[in-house]
Amino acid sequence: MLMFIDFISQPWHWAVSGLVIAVITLGLALAGQRFGVSSAYENFCSIGGLSKQFSFSWQKDGWRMVFIGGSILGGALAAVALQGPAPAISEATTAHLQELGVSYDAAIEAGRAFIPVEIFRWDSLKGIAVALLGGVLIGFGARWAGGCTSGHAITGMAQLQLPSLVTVIGFFIGGLLMTHLLFPIIAQL
């Protein structure tokens, strides 16, 4: 059992995840469903009675609730029981972050290797504001775009949908703007 836990705790090649996502996407397409997480927002609103605009059927949409629940449970299980070696990012990225005042070593020490602890802190107004504003923008953007990055980039692109191609191009432009223009400003605040 210990060898198995050691095996699954190691970083895996990206192709393994790609193959699993391809199989899931194909299976959902054959079942007449689309892969995407932001649609669950509508399902939660419908289940909670918060909106009569959305309808929910356990037979049709129940798989998405199981998927979301499994993602949360799997993430928690992996964080607690399957911690592998600290992930590494390139030296160039580490140097660039240090120029902006973001310490990669501090993030590793805090057990949050990819999260800049200087920015995402719950004990500072800046940290709370960045998290709340980012969450609102991501949620609004996903609903406005008719789906999240996973839905458009995986399902929409696999189905050769032009709106998904345009949306994914917009996601990349937004990511580049955030990385090169907004993040340096936020890091300096």
pLDDT digits (tens, 9 = 90+) for 44-82: 777 766 666 666 677 777 888 888 889 889 888 887 777
Confidence band (pLDDT; 50, 70, 90) for 111? low
- pLDDT for residue 15: 92
In the chain, where are the structural domains located?
Answer: 1-84, 119-189
- pLDDT for residue 177: 93
Tell which residue, 133, 114, 113, has the closest CA to residue 125: 133
DSSP code at position 3: H
What is this structure's pTM?
A: 0.63
DSSP code at position 50: S
What pLDDT digit, counting tens, does each position of 125-166 carry?
Answer: 888 888 888 888 887 777 777 778 777 888 788 788 898 899
What pLDDT digit, counting tens, does each position of 4-57 carry?
Answer: 877 777 777 889 988 988 898 888 888 887 777 777 777 777 776 666 666 667
- pLDDT for residue 95: 82
Q: Give me the mean pLDDT over the 79-101 stretch.
A: 75
Count of alpha carbons within 13 angstroms of residue 59, beta-carbon side: 0
- pLDDT for residue 108: 65
Q: DSSP string spanning 55-92?
A: ---HHHHHHHHHHHHHHHHHHHHHHHH---SPP---HH
SS3 43: helix
- pLDDT for residue 129: 87
